[in-house]
């Protein structure tokens, strides 16, 4: 069970859109529509932003959206804002009631 | 509002056992709608899934940690616990407890986390 691969960092200017990729294998991301995404500001607990690959919990801005193609899931943040600056992690169900997290991506708002 | 609070020693010696407890308030660990899990984050690194437990006691562990980890639940105290034995410096991390909703298969509530350092 290897960690899902994410870019170490992604940056963008306010108002722009950015996309964070999360690459797994046919044993996890590719087999299940069960990828979740978490936002973690420095020193804080992670917050659920996307579940089942594309769904937003109540209260999460519609500027956050998820998608998947093959073994890669993606999180897009549109209309980037200063408050979006944080670490972002993906997580996939990997079968047998096990889970695997991504390596994490630091988002910087320029 | 559900709250999860991790507690336990912040310093553990190499080869000894790390023990943490997650106290749940505003909700019940006995609910059949949730699993309860542990996730850790070494300093400056990503999240690593440790394992989860169901209220009935069913447990599921990260294969890489399975030989050293044990998660248990105490419904009378509304808490669940983590034990990781034979620790090394590589086990130094912030340990988070979290709730996994069975319907969404996502961790919807997290504790703030507690730093455990493995050092002599």
Residues of A in contact with B39 (CB under 8 A): 101
How far are the Cα atoms of A41, B32, B53, B104 from residue B56, in angstroms, in the given order?
34, 9, 8, 20
Edge-first strand listing for the sheet containing B69-74: B3-7, B18-25, B79-84, B69-74
Contact A51 B64 (CB under 8 A): no
Contact B46 A89 (CB under 8 A): yes
Cβ atoms of B2 and B99 within 8 Å: the answer is yes
Average pLDDT of A17-22? 98
CA distance A33 to A75: 14
Cβ atoms of B23 and B5 within 8 Å: the answer is yes
Could you report the per-residue pLDDT of A20-33, keeping only the tens digit for each? 999 999 999 999 99
Residues of A in contact with B95 (CB under 8 A): none
Residue A28 neighbours by CB distance under 10 Å: 24
Nearest chain A residue to B95, by CA = A45
Could you report the per-residue pLDDT of B83-117, keeping only the tens digit for each? 999 999 999 999 999 999 999 999 999 999 999 99
**Which of A6, A75, A99, A100 should we substitute to test contact with B (largest number of B Cβ atoms within 10 Å)?**
A99
At residue A1, does pLDDT exceed 80? no
Residues of A in contact with B56 (CB under 8 A): none
Could you report the per-residue pLDDT of B24-60, keeping only the tens digit for each? 999 999 999 999 999 999 998 899 999 999 988 899 9
CA distance A66 to A53: 6
Q: How many residues does chain B have?
A: 120
Q: Is B47 an 8 Å CB contact of chain A?
A: yes
């Amino acid at each position: 069970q290897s960690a899902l691969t994410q870019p170490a960092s992604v940056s963008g200017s306010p108002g722009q859109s950015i996309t964070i990729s999360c690459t797994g294998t046919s044993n996890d991301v590719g087999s299940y529509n069960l990828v979740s995404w978490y936002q973690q500001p420095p020193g804080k607990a992670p917050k659920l932003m996307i579940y089942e690959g594309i769904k937003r919990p109540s209260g999460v801005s519609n500027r956050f959206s998820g998608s998947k193609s093959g073994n890669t899931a993606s999180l897009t943040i549109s209309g980037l804002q200063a408050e979006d600056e944080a670490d972002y992690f993906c997580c996939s169900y990997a079968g047998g009631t096990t889970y695997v997290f991504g390596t994490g991506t630091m988002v910087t708002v320029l | 509002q559900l709250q999860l609070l991790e507690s336990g020693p912040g310093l553990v010696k190499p080869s000894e056992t790390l023990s943490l407890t997650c106290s749940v308030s505003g909700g019940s660990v006995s609910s059949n709608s949730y699993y309860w899990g542990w996730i850790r984050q070494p300093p400056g690194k990503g999240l690593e899934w440790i394992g989860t437990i169901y209220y009935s006691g069913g447990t599921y562990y990260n294969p890489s940690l399975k030989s050293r980890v044990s998660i248990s639940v105490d419904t009378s105290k509304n808490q669940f616990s983590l034990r990781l034995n034979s620790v090394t410096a590589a086990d130094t991390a912030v340990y988070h407890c979290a709730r996994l909703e069975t319907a969404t298969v996502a961790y919807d509530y997290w504790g703030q986390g507690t730093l455990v350092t493995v050092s002599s």
